[in-house]
Amino acid sequence: MAYTVGIQAAYGDAMPAHVNRRFLLKVRPTGQVGPEHFDYVEEDVPSPLPGQALVRTIYLSVDPANRIWMSDIPSYIPPVGVGKVMRGVGLGQIVASERDDLRAGQLVLGLTNWQDYELADDTLNEIPFTPLPEHLSVPLTHTLGVLGFTGMTAYFGLNDIAKPQSGETVVVSAAAGAVGSIVGQIANLQGARTIGIAGSAEKCRWLTDELGFAAAVNYKEDDWTRQLDAATPSGVDVYWDNVGGAILEEALPRLNLEARIVLCGLLSQYNSFNADAPPPVGPRNFEQLLMKRVLLKGFIIFDFARRFPEAQAALADWLSAGKLAHHETVVEGLDRAPEHLSDMFAGSNVGKLLIHVGDPD
């Protein structure tokens, strides 16, 4: 990749602090997302005006939602403008502040975006930056993963939509992913029987051997639907969907009466969100939503902002009690962000995928 070589050749590991490396959206993808959809630029570090603070990116979260935001499909948040900085959730540190409520040195969560420096400005940021507690007793990365949006997504989706009862069967797609791996464990803690669907034998072993899933099915095996039948002899009471598409189509006919679907993601569909193509068709077996009187709820974590402390407290309790295993895949360097996003759609990572951009002071 030309820009990677360029960055490395120019600076190696010694990026000058006055340069703001940024990835801009070059063109809306018409299929699989890749580096060709981004422009790399170097700009001056902005200076905060009154009411603003300067945030330096420490970790950048790589999420399937990144691909949604690159398309112009109607969404819960406006698409990233072509020529604008790529949107991304991250952990940053305040390095200069003209705001009364933020001071230099503080760690903050928010939309750092795909760059070294962002201005924290509630009138400009699509989601306000929120400071982390002063004395953090967990690794920083957890605040973007198991204790962050990822873990809270699992918490609210289960507590507010799925409401699994003891003994019910919960099936989770992309179960070895950031959200799915937490969903299964919380459902287990709630007394449900949890079945994971994932894309490799290793991921499936991790789910059953380390995370306590009752069974895991590798959807890349030819007989995976028969394996799913065998793993769900009493049908499916809760289907947590992160992927949509063919796996959703197989889940629908297995649903029990009054089953619940938490529609958390449609990973398999995002690469077909193309500017010029018609939208993809919906899942076969859609009529099962009627026949089985299913409750389906679309769900975005940002809606629960006022209740974040409740989720964070519950997750922290489980974590400190050793009841919540989790995995973080931390990769180095902002400069390869486009490749990391592309790799995520190929199923490369287990658990939460984070890019380490810099270290806090």
Contacts with a second copy, residue ranges (CB under 8 A): 68, 73-76, 244, 253, 257, 263-266, 269, 273, 278-300, 303
Least CB distance to a second copy at residue 248 (A): 9
Least CB distance to a second copy at residue 285 (A): 5
Residue 93 or 288: which CB sits closer to a second copy? Answer: 288
Least CB distance to a second copy at residue 188 (A): 25
Give yes or no for a contact between 147 and 324, defined as CB atoms under 8 angstroms apart: no
Residue 122 or 287: which CB sits closer to a second copy? Answer: 287
Residue 204 or 251: which CB sits closer to a second copy? Answer: 251
Residue 104 or 246: which CB sits closer to a second copy? Answer: 246
Residue 302 or 320: which CB sits closer to a second copy? Answer: 302
Give yes or no for a contact between 274 and 31, defined as CB atoms under 8 angstroms apart: yes
Q: Between helices 149-156 and 178-189, what is the axis angle to 10°?
A: 40
Fill in the amino acid letter for 183: V
Tokens of 18: 């006055």
Taking only Cα atoms into account, the Rg of the chain, rounded to an integer number of angstroms, comes to 21
Contacts of residue 234, defined as CB under 8 A and 6 or more positions apart, other chains included, come to: 169, 256
Give yes or no for a contact between 336 and 360, defined as CB atoms under 8 angstroms apart: no
Tokens of 346: 């190929």
Could you tell me which of 108, 94, 127, 239 has the C-alpha nearest to residue 174?
A: 239
Residue 246 or 313: which CB sits closer to a second copy? Answer: 246
Least CB distance to a second copy at residue 284 (A): 5
Contacts of residue 172, defined as CB under 8 A and 6 or more positions apart, other chains included, come to: 180, 183, 184, 187, 194, 195, 196, 197, 240, 242
DSSP string, 227-271: HHHHH-TT-EEEEEESS-HHHHHHHGGGEEEEEEEEE---HHHHT
Fill in the amino acid letter for 289: L
Least CB distance to a second copy at residue 158 (A): 16
Give the count of beta carbons closer than 10 Å to the beta carbon of residue 14. 7
Least CB distance to a second copy at residue 134 (A): 33
Could you tell me which of 225, 203, 223 has the C-alpha nearest to residue 213?
A: 203
Least CB distance to a second copy at residue 63 (A): 14
Residue 125's φ and ψ, nearest 5 degrees, are -70, 140
Question: Which residue shows structure tokens 């992160």?
Answer: 242
Residue 73 or 82: which CB sits closer to a second copy? Answer: 73
Residue 91 or 267: which CB sits closer to a second copy? Answer: 267
Question: Which residue shows structure tokens 């995520």?
Answer: 344
3-state secondary structure of 224: helix
3-state secondary structure of 195: strand
Least CB distance to a second copy at residue 196 (A): 21
Label residue 31 left, alpha or beta by phi (over 0 means left) and psi (-120 to 50 means alpha): left
Least CB distance to a second copy at residue 30 (A): 16
Residue 77 or 325: which CB sits closer to a second copy? Answer: 77
Least CB distance to a second copy at residue 274 (A): 13
Residue 295 or 330: which CB sits closer to a second copy? Answer: 295
